[in-house]
Structure 1
């Protein structure tokens, strides 16, 4: 058998493909030959890629600089004999590793979900007989039979079709079922336009067909996407990148500070063992043990908030990634649109109408264009609909047009659990919805005027016609729908709005057709013809001439109304939205204009440029980044090209969110910084490859998730800005004591108490901070910007120095009062804690005072403050705590000094923020005042 891997089979006649496969289009393969080919080609399943085992994946969770720092902290603490504290730190590390392992394990199911798409039964011809076999047993050369409702089990070259239409939206993004035919196509024809092929994993929407299997398993288009998913590497999120860099810098700073401490002590001639323990204590103090827990909890809170807004997060870092998104690459079908064909405009007689509403729900008014108070009277239209063939003067053409669409139709409109769906072709379903919006019940009309015979639609004839028995013995009626040009050739007159028949104005109809097509609408024409009451059959000869033209119905897969508002909100937030779809360029451009996308435009008419897959393929790699950055609409795009576009945008340092619902979107979803899948209409493959799933399939939920993501990053930054001054301050206090040759003002066990209790009781409360006003009016963060800007680093240093001055000063002052060293250390510990407590209020907003966000807008802050005050009182006054942490009770004078220092720190930081706001708002040039 010839090797077909590199042959463009859509370019070959069907009989040549059958010969190359050494098969028989009527009898199929023999069982013996099928068995031999199964051994040669393997089962018709997708291969599994090699992955790390569970143990290796778990150990890889510890491969992070910050984790190394924490493990070192646990080891050092254990060396100091503080086993409980060491256990706590290691427990934090272990919990983080377990969370990451679970999230990663769920992500690995993407390939398994893709494999499951091919596990079904198929009808084939074997040994000349029709038989059902598991799809895994299909081999190249098998003759596969397709019927409505079947899932295509392998890639097929079609050899015979009868009204065959296949829903390929999951594979190509095509919004309507593709009509199939036995044609010979050009070699360069893209997958979405290969009408002589049926592809594995797609669904037969209508009709019947027969094809010979030309690709199975990994050799199918689905297998090619599977290969792309397996080869796509996971992209580190902005948060993980920033934390990795931050951890490296922090590690270097801690080790450097500890080394300086040790060398300084040696230089002063102090005991090496004591100096080493002091350096260890400094390292323990400088490590922010609560940071991993804060990151995990803050992200988890963000997950909970997003779930309330219909966005389910599968991978924790994706929460923050949304907040730094600069570009959203959106699929069109089912994402920006409803994936439900909808009639939007009508020409009936010499009148045009617009139809409100989107999707299959039969709700929306029909309004005549250019007239006031032009809403169609549904009751009147419904009354006329039961007198088909009579000439009623009011809106007769509209009534006849809608009735024709309802009766010349093989689809069904059904309501299930409050949701309207279509059984059959979506285009025909749209006609049923349009009729029902006008008050015409398709079921009742069909019962009153039952179908006698029909001519099914075929691409060669370009129309469908049905014969219906008349009401109460009246003459029968023939209804026809089809392509506009073909229908006009069959008509010699047209129905006017008043119900009379007049001369056919074909140029006017074609002009209106062009206007609808320019809006990206798909246009169908309708006609009727009377027939004798006893007519029992219908043939092509009956409709070759003498029809009366009824009008046009123009439809499209409409944009979601909420998507329009969401795109507008994203643009306000500085986020570019791009459409990447497998649909036609004209349709894509029309939808893009309706939802408000902004990008490169044609200079001659101001229309958005829609770049096609063929144009992308011809674009050199060095120019692709410019095209991706400046163009808003990409149409007829293959899965590989979607992947290339995402990679090109990432090469421009964009943080890319990719939305989609089909199998064809999965590789790009995995490659993107954050993949967003549709929960209702999306395939399992897309959901498993994505980082986030929208439970309502609503693009507007992405905008809400971006808002929450920005809040998450804000809160993480607030925690880091709050916690680092303490770690730095503790290190500086120890360093100062060693440089001065004095005893340590705080002990390692006291440092651990400060770090762990304040992180839990105070710092984690920042995770519950609400969104600050105007969060979606600021541009996205620069992806290259570190977590801590220069301004925040300066603030951290300022507060650390204030903590050093306050704690060391109180320690010395308490010693001057002739109090014990334990009392001085207890006071120093309380200075650190109380300064952290008051500084917490400064950190509720990094640019404004806490009054800007609301004093009581976060009740968790006050609960944490109360808990921390209680813990410090226990530490200071409870005997068992005194023994464990080497503290003693202190008097009111010490507390007054501690609180005074804490309030001063709050006021100084508040003044610093106010000064910076004034400086940023001041004009760059200030007039100088002449001195006398």
Structure 2
């Protein structure tokens, strides 16, 4: 049925605007629904009308935040609000130095944050670039080359090897078509396509009658019917999913935000109370304002935002050395809190190099050693190296795999690479392990002719000349067995073919996740130079089987074990087949739901039948998910997050984009990853290796530990400063410190002392403890008690010395300088106690972090300038001190250090005893 040219087609008559399972429709039915003639295609007029109705074949660009908005968002933090308010108030009161210093702190933090955030996601742009620029179509009965953006539903496109699908198409004709869909589905091997309909509920990776935008034809030819363009394509739907994925706060940002909100209200409340009390006492309004500002400045940890940013930036540098490139600063800390890692299989947990692992020939079973494309290792039987002279069937099986083969094994810069099909490359590698050289054999038995692989026949055959002309054949077990009548025996003579035994061997290999190929041979006539399918239709001599798999990385197995010991669940989410995925997962050592002693792999088709309420339970118990569609990966991540899990997700394809963005931390592959995956991620692995994730998690835990140490170190100072001001107001005495002196303490000590904790080595057993619970507050009860203890000790020491100095006749400036110096010295001594929050300093080593001592030395030098240089005296209202005053100040610092050391020692011993008692109880039960 043709559409009348004078009438615009209604959208209700064309299926692209409806939900349609094109893969399950017969090709002729699809052509009828889209009202197009396969041999002529659309007319130019009809194509123009459809483009007006459905738009161009491009994806909608999402509006991005401007650079100005991105910069202004850096000020959107509760603590920053207080500092900005303090800046304005001090400016209005004419305290220009105070105002400049406070605003300088805010500006530095915002600039650092903007520089990092300006590297924002560009996943949508990368998706648009993945669409092809040109397409070959039938328009009005003739071939035309047009921009892919001009394609419309109903267009007939022509494709061949090397082309990319310019839109989603229903295959109408396909000849030996193989398509690389790894970027979309995650499947590592090129997929064979055909034009026959498939089941409506088949997941994306099993829709063999479809071709999808951005995937590539690796072999064969096809004619396709465009059924979806632009945003309606599968890759367009992924774009929408990426846009809709949430940008989640990290555990640290959530905790700091909660802490900041609490601190904001406490500070504002104290300032209001202070202002009201002083006003009722009859104090001057401007003086009262300055007093409130002093309290706010003292209570706010001004150095915290800057210190956190710098600590995370240094963590980025550390992780880069472990082959993990961090794109967002907060990802450093998130890694340390991760309790679930969802990993792709191919190339991350495995070598991404097909390897023959088992061979069955001449009635004997063999295994191989060595992994990947490096031709090192042996073929063994009962742990002894196989001798080809004792099993001619094995020799011929290997020769068949080597000669009936179009791939090439090459060494480049110390790396062994395959040019051609990875499966054929594995056959060449295993033959090399047995001492067979392809070049030598090709000289002895030169190839005369080839029957290329065709999906209809499921095999490839080659004719070879030489002293004994032979035909070698390799293909699916079914195709080879049905053409074979005998089997080659170890002595090189044909014998009886036991098909039942071979099928059992195949079943055993397939059960271990191996991809099994069968091999056969046939004598050719002298001088024969051509072969076709009639020559290989029967009477072949069966040679044997070779089972191969993309093997797990040894370092990945070790890393998975380490992660699981650290309380981190590892789950495999792959586009590969369920049996292969479960077999690899078992070899790697993943823990999950089992049946009959085997790991259970849940498929994408099964996930379609599971509701959102039941899904979280299933996901928590299951370790392997196979043949999953892009939207299902997103569902799995969300299901885990619904159980308060901190999820790290790895991926390399376009299909991984939404899940990478939704995850708490998205991890893209640097070598095999697409631009979409990298731009949607928070971290990129330069070596595509799971062990690098484990290393990054370890570094992340170390960074989180050191951040916690910094916060525990800095808060007592703010508490002590607030308490001393409140006590002075309560006693109606003069202020022990000026606002600008409070800023001096908070900023110099944060940089020169607190930041030295970033160089603190990771504590022993950091990967032996479970992940930090997401609902655990930033400060535990023990740490809060320690913060209160140190804060009150600072109050006692500083205010006691202030009263002492004023009582003996010192000037106010001199007494304030003593108080300021007390805080600096006590913080320096307390810094040594904060190098570990649990272990006494003797347990971690006095000199394992020399940077702490460098920082203290520089801090004392700077404080000496504060005390003794006229310029600093004028700027900060300080005054020179006598040696005896310094002696009293250092004595106060030593007292605080001793008290905290004793408290830590007591807590450590009690904790050790409880741990031993718990372990003893576990052993008894």
Q: Same fold (TM over 0.5)?
A: yes
Query: For each residue in 1:556-604, what CA deviation from the matched residue of structure 2 results, as whole angstroms up to 9, or x when unmatched?
Result: 22222211111101001110001112221111111110111101111xx
1:170 is aligned, of 168, 175, 183, to 183
2:208 is aligned to 195
Following the alignment from structure 1 to structure 2, what is the Cα–Cα distance between the partners of residues 554 and 67? 63
Please list the CA deviations of residues 850-870 of structure 1 after superposition, one character each: whole Å capped at 9, or x if unmatched: 333332222221221111111
Counterpart in 2 of 1:450? Answer: 446
Give matches, 1:222-233, under 5 Å.
222-233=235-246
1:562 to 549, 555, 560: 555
Pairs within 5 Å for 1:287-326: 287-326=300-339
CA drift of 1:902 comes to 0.2
> Take 2:275 and 2:716, find their aligned partners in 1: how far apart are those partners?
22
Structure 2 length as normaliser, TM-score? Answer: 0.94
Shift of 1:17: 1.8
Of the three residues 731, 747, 753, the one matched with 1:762 is: 753
> Which of 731, 751, 754 is the aligned partner of 1:740?
731
For each residue in 1:267-301, what CA deviation from the matched residue of structure 2 results, as whole angstroms up to 9, or x when unmatched? Answer: 55555543332222111111111111101100000
Q: Which of 397, 403, 409 is residue 401 of structure 1 equivalent to?
A: 397
| Equivalent in the alignment of 2:263 | 250
Whole-Å separation in 1 of the counterparts to 2:117 and 2:821: 42
Match of 2:37 in 1: 24
Q: Which residue of 1 aligns with 2:494?
A: 501
CA drift at 1:230: 1.2
Equivalent residue for 2:359?
346
Match of 2:584 in 1: 591
Which residue, 727, 730, 743 being the options, matches 1:752?
A: 743
Counterpart contact for 1:362–1:436, Cα < 8 Å: no
Give the alignment partner of residue 514 of structure 1, picking from 494, 507, 511: 507
Give SS of 1:336's match: coil
Structure 2 CA distance for partners of 1:898 and 1:51, relative to 1, 3 Å = same
User: Whole-Å Cα distance in 1 between the matches of residues 278 and 102 of structure 2?
Assistant: 28
Where does 1:233-272 land on structure 2 (aligned, <5 Å)? 233-266=246-279, 270-272=283-285
What CA distance in whole angstroms lies between the structure 1 residues aligned with 2:152 and 2:445?
48
- Say whether 1:411 aligns with 2:424: no
Task: Confirm or deny: 8 A CA contact 1:351 1:368 kept in the other structure.
Answer: no
Indicate if the aligned counterparts of 2:155 and 2:226 stay in contact, CA closer than 8 A: yes
Give me the whole-angstrom Cα distance separating, in 2, the residues matched to 1:76 and 1:447.
90
In the alignment, the residues of structure 1 paired with residue 431 and residue 56 of structure 2 have an alpha-carbon distance, to the nearest angstrom, of 48
Between 4-13 and 33-42, report the one with greater CA deviation: 33-42
* Paired position in structure 2 for 1:370: 382
Number of the residue aligned with 2:876: 885
SS of the aligned residue for 1:70 comes to helix
- Hey, what's the Cα distance between the residues in 2 that align with 1:229 and 1:218? 13
Q: Which residue of 2 aligns with 1:929?
A: none
Q: Output the CA distance in 1 between the equivalents of 2:385 and 2:172.
A: 49
Once structures 1 and 2 are overlaid, which stretch shifts more, 867-876 or 797-806?
867-876
**Aligned in 2, Cα 1:922/1:849: closer, same or farther, shift over 3 Å?**
closer
Match of 1:282 in 2: 295
Task: Give me the whole-angstrom Cα distance separating, in 1, the residues matched to 2:89 and 2:334.
Answer: 34
2:15 corresponding residue in structure 1 = 4
Partner of 1:462: 458
8 Å contact from structure 2 (residues 315, 703) kept in 1: yes
| Contact kept in structure 2, 1:264 and 1:739, CA below 8 Å | no
1:762–1:861 Cα contact (<8 Å) kept:
yes
Hey, what's the Cα distance between the residues in 2 that align with 1:443 and 1:683?
36
Q: How many Å apart are 1:262 and its aligned residue?
A: 2.9
- Distance change (3 Å), C-alpha of 1:61 and 1:891: closer
2 CA distance for matches of 1:107 and 1:272? Answer: 46
Contact 1:77 1:284 (C-alpha < 8 Å) held by counterparts: no
The worse-fitting range, judged by mean Cα deviation, of 615-624 and 405-414 is 405-414
* Residue number in structure 1 paired with 2:923: none
Q: How far 1:351 moved relative to its partner?
A: 2.2
Match of 1:480 in 2: 473
In structure 1, distance between residues paired with 2:230 and 2:243: 15
What is the SS of the residue equivalent to 2:571?
Answer: strand
Q: In 2, are the aligned partners of 1:656 and 1:673 still within 8 Å (CA)? A: yes
Secondary structure at 2:60 match in 1: coil
Determine which of 717, 724, 727 is the counterpart of 2:708. 717
Residues of 1 paired with 2:81 and 2:510: CA distance?
62
Aligned residue among 849, 852, 861 for 1:858: 849
1:397 touches 1:497 (CA, 8 Å); kept in 2?
yes
The secondary structure found in structure 2 opposite 1:333 is coil
Residue pair 1:76, 1:284 contacting (<8 A) in 2 also: no
Partner in structure 1 of residue 6 of structure 2:
none
Is 1:670 the counterpart of 2:679 in the alignment?
no
Name the structure 2 match of 1:39.
52
Superposition pairs of residues 433-832 of structure 1, within 5 angstroms: 433-469=429-465, 471=466, 474-602=467-595, 605-832=596-823
Aligned residue for 1:523, secondary structure, equals: strand
Quick one: structure 1 residues 199 and 329, their matched pair in 2 at CA, closer, same or farther if it must change by over 3 Å? same
Cα distance in 2 for residues equivalent to 1:9 and 1:107: 36
Deviation at 1:376, TM superposition (A): 4.4
Give the whole-Å Cα distance in 1 for the aligned partners of 2:680 and 2:480.
Answer: 46
Residue of structure 2 in register with 1:424 after alignment: 420
List gaps (5 residues or longer) in structure 2: 1-8, 918-925
Q: TM-score, normalised by structure 1?
A: 0.94
CA distance in 1, matches of 2:224, 2:426: 30
| Equivalent residues of 1:659, 1:675 under 8 A apart | yes
Q: Which residue of 1 aligns with 2:5?
A: none
- Establish whether residue 870 from structure 1 lines up as the match of residue 883 from structure 2: no
Q: Partners of 2:875 and 2:106 in 1: how far apart? A: 25
Question: RMSD in angstroms over aligned alpha carbons?
Answer: 2.1
Counterpart-to-counterpart distance in 2, 1:363 and 1:925: 51
Instruction: Assess if the C-alpha contact under 8 Å between 1:163 and 1:456 holds in 2.
Output: no
Q: Is the 8 A contact 2:132 2:214 kept in 1?
A: no
State whether residues 581 and 634 of structure 1, in contact with CA within 8 Å, keep that contact through their aligned partners in structure 2. Answer: yes
Q: What is the Cα deviation at residue 707 of structure 1?
A: 0.7
